[in-house]
């Protein structure tokens, strides 16, 4: 198959590209060229702006079997993609859209685990305007989804990953915690680490694209992609520490005190996805939690971090450690040594 990926130089797009190449397909990346696509196996490259209709039309002339929109964010970006590729989509091409589990933050009522709702106007949205970045992202992604699902006579598949983790890109939220484990010192453990978490391993997500591209049953379907197990924040940090060879030192604190000091995984809603549709229809077998955390942690351990990387990952670290000392003093616990 001939595959074009809108985006593909960074984390998820790179994994998708490599999954298709490894499966024997011809892959072309469509990017602005601002970042060299390192780590991507054999591929072609078309330079262009995802938000420029003329650039997209120029890329649409080569007869693609699969079109992956990995960087579309809202209704307007979907309008551009559908306008540019409509001729091919009405013939044979299959359009894949990377959405997000954040769309479920807009549900008035959630029955856990959350199944993929019918992709039509029956999706229940909150009446109020988005109150957070998560709600804004979810609303924008859902509006893009709706435009796609209401487009007749085209083949499409939508994927809704959760918290995506894996090797390959330092902006991954998992590395916020792993950087603190490697740097030493205590970690503020929001609400004692009891918060439930669910992750999507990036390689599982990439595999889902390849599987769906091969079967007609995936046409006009939406799939949750995530791990099967229920895990917690403390499970994640402990497993990361184990694979980094670190014995973690925790200072529990209520999340309402911490704000951003509690880490990125404390700011996301505790939605748990039902992945049975993907496992049954696509034959996807989600990787076990311990396996993909090991792969992720070992990649981070061996990655040659630069000073600028550490500055970004460890921002507010001094404030965190100072708060840990204050909490230990207030609770009459042994004071944390200065370091």
Q: What is the DSSP string of 231-294?
A: EEHHHHHHHHHHHHT----EEEE-HHHHGGGG-GGGSS----B--HHIIIII---PPPHHHHHH
Distance separating the N- and C-terminal Cα atoms of the chain: 55
| pLDDT above 70 for 109 | no
- 203, two tokens: 């390689």
DSSP per residue, 111-147 = -SSBPPPPSSTTS---SSPP-SHHHHHHHHHHHHHHH
- The whole-number pLDDT of residue 104 equals 86
pLDDT bin (cut points 50, 70, 90) of residue 119 is very low
Given a contact cutoff of 8 angstroms between Cβ atoms, the answer to whether 79 and 208 are in contact is no
Residue % of the chain over a pLDDT of 90? 68
pLDDT over 70 (residue 155): yes
CB atoms within 10 A of CB 108: 8
Arithmetic mean of pLDDT over the chain: 89
Domain 2-166+198-227+271-287 falls in which CATH fold? Answer: Rossmann fold (3.40.50)
Q: Which residue has the higher pLDDT, 336 or 69?
A: 69
Beta bridge partners of 222: 158
pLDDT tens per residue across span 270-289: 789 999 999 999 999 999 99
CA triple 206-162-122, angle to 5 deg: 105
Q: What is the pLDDT of residues 167-192, one digit of tens each?
A: 988 888 999 999 999 999 999 999 99
* pLDDT score at 132: 64
pTM attached to this predicted model: 0.92
Binning pLDDT at 50, 70 and 90, where does residue 42 land? confident
Query: For the chain, which residues make up each domain, given as ranges?
Result: 2-166+198-227+271-287
Q: Please report which confidence band the pLDDT of residue 257 belongs to, taking 50, 70 and 90 as the band edges.
A: confident
Q: What is the pLDDT of residue 237?
A: 97
Residue 130 has pLDDT above 60, yes or no: no
pLDDT at residue 137, rounded to an integer: 83
3-state secondary structure of 1: coil
Which residue from 269, 261, 290 is spatially nearest to 189, judged by alpha carbons?
261
Q: How far is CA 88 from the centre of its chain?
A: 28
pLDDT above 70 for 118: no
Contacts of 258 (CB under 8 A, 6+ apart): 188, 190, 266
Q: What pLDDT is recorded for position 129?
A: 57
Which two tokens mark 70?
């990995």
Are the C-beta atoms of 51 and 27 separated by less than 8 Å?
A: no
Rounded to an integer, what distance in angstroms lies between the CA atom of residue 303 and that of residue 190?
27
pLDDT at 199 over 90: yes
- Higher confidence at residue 223 or residue 107? 223
Residue 269: its pLDDT value, please?
Answer: 64
For residue 229, cis peptide bond before it (omega within 30 degrees of 0): no
Return the H-helix or E-strand segment holding 187: strand 187-190
């Amino acid at each position: 198959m001939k595959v074009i990926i809108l985006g593909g130089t960074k984390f998820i797009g790179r994994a998708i590209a490599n999954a298709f190449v490894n499966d024997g397909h011809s892959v072309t990346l469509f990017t602005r060229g601002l970042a060299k696509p390192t780590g991507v196996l054999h591929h072609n490259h078309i330079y262009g702006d995802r938000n420029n209709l003329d650039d997209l039309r120029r890329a649409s002339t080569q007869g693609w079997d699969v079109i992956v929109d990995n960087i579309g964010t809202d209704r307007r970006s979907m309008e551009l993609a559908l306008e540019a590729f409509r001729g091919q989509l009405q013939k044979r091409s299959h359009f894949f859209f990377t959405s997000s589990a954040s769309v479920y933050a807009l549900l008035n009522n959630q029955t856990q685990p959350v199944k993929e709702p019918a992709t039509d106007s029956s999706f229940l949205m909150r009446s109020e305007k988005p109150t957070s970045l998560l709600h804004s992202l979810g609303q924008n992604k859902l509006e893009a989804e709706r435009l796609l699902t209401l487009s007749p006579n085209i083949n499409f598949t939508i994927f809704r990953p959760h918290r995506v983790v894996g090797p390959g890109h330092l902006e991954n939220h998992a590395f916020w915690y792993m950087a603190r484990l490697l740097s030493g010192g205590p970690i503020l453990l929001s609400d004692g680490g009891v918060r439930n978490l669910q992750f999507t391993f990036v390689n599982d997500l990439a595999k889902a694209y390849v599987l769906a591209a091969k079967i007609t049953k995936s046409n006009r379907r939406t799939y949750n992609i995530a791990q099967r197990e229920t895990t917690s924040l403390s499970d994640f940090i402990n497993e990361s520490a184990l694979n980094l060879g670190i014995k973690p030192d925790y200072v529990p604190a209520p999340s309402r005190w911490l704000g951003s000091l509690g880490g990125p995984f404390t700011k996301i809603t505790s939605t748990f996805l039902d992945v049975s549709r993907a496992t049954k229809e696509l034959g996807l077998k989600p990787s076990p939690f311990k396996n993909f955390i090991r792969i992720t942690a070992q990649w981070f351990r061996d990655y040659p971090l630069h000073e600028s990387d550490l500055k970004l990952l460890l921002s507010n670290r001094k404030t965190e450690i100072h708060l840990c000392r204050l909490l230990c003093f207030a609770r009459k616990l042994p004071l944390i040594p200065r370091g």
